[in-house]
Amino acid sequence: MVSQETVNYIAGLARLHLAGAESEKFAKDLEAILHYVQKLDGLDVSVIKPTSHVLNVENVFRDDVIKPGLSQEQALAFSVENLNGGYKVPKVIE
Amino acid sequence: MNLFELTVHQILDQIKAGKISASSVLAEVSARAQTLNVKTNAFVRLFPSPEIKAGPCPVPIAIKDNICVKGELTTCGSKILKGFKPPYDAGVVDKIKASGGLILGSANMDEFAFGSSCETSAYGPTRNPWALDRVPGGSSGGSAAAVAAGQALWALGSDTGGSIRQPASFCGVVGLKPTYGRVSRYGLIAFGSSLDQIGPFTKDVTDSALLLNIICGFDERDSTSLNVPVPDYTKALVKDINGLKIGIPQEYFLDGIEPDVAAAVKAAIEVFKKQGAVVKHISLPHTEYAVATYYIVATAEASSNLARFDGVQYGLRAMPPNLRKSPLIDMYEETRARGFGDEAKRRIMLGTYVLSSGYYDAYYLRAQKVRTLIKQDFDKVFSDCDVILSPTSPTTAFRIGEKINDPLAMYLSDIFTIPANMAGIPAISVPCGFDRAGLPIGLQLMAKPFAEETLLRAAYAYEQNTPWHLERAVL
């Protein structure tokens, strides 16, 4: 059973504020989905290697050559607040 | 016949013959895109009329709202990206522009591509051109509907678990998911990075080959783009499939498939046999685990990818009225609470859960191992088969509202399309008939990595011996 406590803990990790009724709803939804995915427990995977990626490519490098990129102005253009060429966020330390 | 009903290859032939001009095509299709959008909502926005430039393919195209177009709003069907105008073009958009393509606007989609019905879009659902009370499928529902309605001559979508093929099936058009790594993901707003792939929506298989010719190829800006030569896909368009080995997986023909869908797919198998294909009964034994595996792997990747939407770099920022934790954390949590819809929140939560300490091995690691088993199923079958044939979806288009409150039922509508993403293989959906309500049915063909030519040849041979691709939705 997925408790509301767990849901609120996960929401905290995911940086999502849940309103009261939402955590109850998501507890129910997560419960149903987690119950469904439990069918994977029936498989013996003890000797199987995990696949994180389907392609057999490793260490993709490019030449270390400077190319034109976005200007600071372009990169900051869609920030809500910026200051002196950087992103501005609410106060972090008192 | 109206210009908007023609395929791109027909239009290009007529332009070449001097019968019509690119500007008259643009004018007619733009006007239709505009007037019909009230009915279909296929576009979340139309761009100011594009300028005709030199190029081999000067035709109107719809681009899914998760593919960056420089200077034009790109919002991923979400409120959290409200106002975001990318400062660069996606790799595929570069290629479309270089070919002379005319981008009409952004096609509607499920928010962040999370959905199979286009209903989770923050900009309202898209309606299926064949029946306006039905969904167009998803997540690339807007792209599929735009092509089916003649609101664009062709379109681009993205496919993480079936998001090109399932809507193509529901809307009676051709949708192709290329091999993972075949098309650049640069500028595609990421959902599941090990699964996502951009691909074409077209009225027929010939157009699919033409659009693949434009969008495929290496891009150093995407480290998972493979540097493999791109063939001329139109050369694969031959009707000869004599001796082609087609596998029919028993696991894809179980209970739960609508009878009309099963009948249409069985009839399609007969068409292939008649053309000389060799039909073999095969097994992909781990098929039943694919959806469960996908909803762990894809949500894990999504929860990580969507961490970037935090009220700092992009449009939306919100603060709660009273201090809860700290000003910065409150800003993150409130921005994401207001910016994301329910399905996005659900998937972020699920992905965070399966990656969290204490659950990682039991869920995420186990799912990655089952993914290996699913991939091995395909490797085995392709040692003795050229193509695997199945329905694209167990059902035809369902009603708007029918599954939106039952996430699991919605997830299961991708049961036949998810395995190809897990294995990274190419797959196509082509129209193969209509059910008793007049709704399109899709046939799926899958092939081994980088065998898009085999897919196109099989699909073309089928299409040229059936009438389904000639039907148009009446609106």
With 80 as the cut, is the pLDDT of residue B255 above it?
A: no
B261, two tokens: 């869908």
With 80 as the cut, is the pLDDT of residue A39 above it?
A: yes
What does the mean pLDDT of chain A come to?
A: 91
pLDDT band at B177 (very low <50, low <70, confident <90, very high): very high
Contacts of residue B22, Cβ cutoff 8 Å, sequence gap at least 6: B15, B52, B58, B59, B100, B102
The chain B residue lying nearest A35, using CA atoms, is B292
| A62 with B288: Cβ contact below 8 A | no
| A55 with B224: Cβ contact below 8 A | yes
Instruction: Check residue B426 and give its pLDDT.
Output: 98
Residue B383 annotated among the catalytic residues of the structure: no
Instruction: Check residue B409 and give its pLDDT.
Output: 85
Instruction: Check residue B410 and give its pLDDT.
Output: 87
Among candidates B246, B245, B266, which has minimal Cα distance to B389? B246
Q: Is B14 exposed, middle or buried (0-12, 13-18, 19+ CB in 10 A)?
A: middle
With 80 as the cut, is the pLDDT of residue B199 above it?
A: yes
Its domain, for residue A16, covers 1-43
Instruction: Check residue B1 and give its pLDDT.
Output: 82
With 80 as the cut, is the pLDDT of residue A57 above it?
A: no
Q: Establish if B53 touches chain A: CB-CB under 8 angstroms.
A: no
The beta strand positions in B269-386, using DSSP E, are: 278-282
pLDDT band at B411 (very low <50, low <70, confident <90, very high): confident
Torsion sign across C-alpha atoms B149, B397, B113, B233: negative
Query: Which of the pair, B38 or B408, is modelled with greater confidence?
Result: B38
- The residues in B 272-291 lying below 8 A from A, measured between CB atoms, are 286, 288-289, 291
With 90 as the cut, is the pLDDT of residue A60 above it?
A: no
Instruction: Check residue B315 and give its pLDDT.
Output: 77
Answer yes or no: is A34 within a domain: yes
Suggest the residue from A28, A30, A33 to mutate for an interface test with chain B (most B CBs closer than 10 A).
A33
Instruction: Check residue B28 and give its pLDDT.
Output: 97
Query: Which of the pair, A21 or B11, is modelled with greater confidence?
Result: B11
Please tell me the total count of domains within chain B.
Answer: 1
Answer yes or no: is A72 within a domain: no
Residue B325 annotated among the catalytic residues of the structure: no
Instruction: Check residue B157 and give its pLDDT.
Output: 98
Answer yes or no: is A63 within a domain: no
Nearest to B372 among A50, A81, A92 (CB): A50
With 90 as the cut, is the pLDDT of residue B270 above it?
A: yes
pLDDT band at A79 (very low <50, low <70, confident <90, very high): confident
Amino acid present at B119: E
Answer yes or no: is A35 within a domain: yes
Q: What is B66-108 written as a DSSP string?
A: TB--TTS---TT-STTTT---SS--HHHHHHHHTT-EEEEEEP
Its domain, for residue B195, covers 1-475
Do B88 and B70 form a contact (C-beta atoms < 8 A)? yes
d(CA B225, CA B182): 6
With 80 as the cut, is the pLDDT of residue A58 above it?
A: no
A77: distance to nearest CA of chain B, Å?
A: 9
Of the listed ranges B52-56, B291-295, B336-340, B397-401, the least confidently predicted one is B52-56
The chain B residue lying nearest A53, using CA atoms, is B194
With 80 as the cut, is the pLDDT of residue A43 above it?
A: yes
- Residue with tokens 């998972």, as numbered in its chain: B224
Instruction: Check residue B436 and give its pLDDT.
Output: 98
Catalytic annotation, pick one of B158, B163, B303, B393 = B163
Looking at residue B113, which CATH number applies to its domain?
3.90.1300.10
Q: What's the average model confidence in pLDDT over B319-332? A: 95
d(CA B4, CA B25): 8
Chain A residues with CB inside 8 Å of B411's CB?
33
Answer yes or no: is A79 within a domain: no
pLDDT band at B256 (very low <50, low <70, confident <90, very high): confident
Q: In what order do the strands lie in the sheet with B102-107?
A: B43-46, B102-107, B60-64, B154-159, B197-202, B174-177, B427-434, B440-446, B387-391, B245-249, B278-282
pLDDT band at A61 (very low <50, low <70, confident <90, very high): confident
d(CA B317, CA B43): 26
Answer yes or no: is A28 within a domain: yes
- Residue with tokens 């179980």, as numbered in its chain: B254
Instruction: Check residue B369 and give its pLDDT.
Output: 98
pLDDT band at B66 (very low <50, low <70, confident <90, very high): very high
Percent of chain B with pLDDT over 90: 95
Percent of chain B with pLDDT over 70: 100
Q: What's the average model confidence in pLDDT over B181-187? A: 98
Q: Give the Å distances, CA to CA, from B177 to B62, B75, B157.
A: 17, 22, 9
With 80 as the cut, is the pLDDT of residue B71 above it?
A: yes
Instruction: Check residue A77 and give its pLDDT.
Output: 86
Instruction: Check residue A59 and give its pLDDT.
Output: 81
| B293 with A40: Cβ contact below 8 A | yes
Answer yes or no: is A39 within a domain: yes
| ipTM computed for the complex | 0.95
Of the listed ranges A52-61, B213-222, B226-235, the least confidently predicted one is A52-61
Chain A residues with CB inside 8 Å of B293's CB?
40
DSSP bridge partners of B245: B278
With 80 as the cut, is the pLDDT of residue A94 above it?
A: no
Indicate the SS3 state at residue B40: helix
Q: What's the average model confidence in pLDDT over A35-58? A: 92
pLDDT band at B82 (very low <50, low <70, confident <90, very high): confident
Torsion sign across C-alpha atoms A2, A6, A10, A11: positive
Strands B154-159 vs B427-434: parallel, antiparallel or unpaired: unpaired
Percent of chain A with pLDDT over 90: 65
Burial B31-66 (b: 16+ CB within 10 A, else e): ebbeebbeebbbbbbbbeebeeeebebbbbbbbbbb
Residue B356 annotated among the catalytic residues of the structure: no
With 90 as the cut, is the pLDDT of residue B11 above it?
A: yes
Amino acid present at B18: G
With 90 as the cut, is the pLDDT of residue B242 above it?
A: yes
d(CA A72, CA A82): 11
DSSP bridge partners of B131: B128
With 90 as the cut, is the pLDDT of residue B448 above it?
A: yes
pLDDT band at A56 (very low <50, low <70, confident <90, very high): confident
- Residue-wise pLDDT for B291-315, tens only, equals 999 999 999 999 999 999 999 988 7
Q: What's the average model confidence in pLDDT over B305-328? A: 93
- Residue-wise pLDDT for B98-110, tens only, equals 999 999 999 999 9
Looking at residue A39, which CATH number applies to its domain?
1.10.20.60
d(CA B126, CA B37): 9
Please tell me the total count of domains within chain A.
Answer: 1
pLDDT band at B413 (very low <50, low <70, confident <90, very high): confident
Q: What is B435-455 written as a DSSP string?
A: -TTS-EEEEEEE-STT-HHHH
What do you get for the CA distance between the two ends of chain B, in Å?
Answer: 14
Nearest to A32 among B366, B375, B408 (CB): B408
Category of B326 on φ-ψ map: left (φ > 0), alpha (ψ -120 to 50) or beta: beta
Instruction: Check residue B141 and give its pLDDT.
Output: 98
With 80 as the cut, is the pLDDT of residue A55 above it?
A: yes
CB atoms within 10 A of CB B130: 25
Answer yes or no: is A80 within a domain: no
Q: What is the dihedral of CA B40, B41, B43, B46, to 10 degrees?
A: 100
Number of H-type helices and E-type strands within chain B: 14, 11
d(CA B133, CA B33): 19
With 80 as the cut, is the pLDDT of residue A48 above it?
A: yes
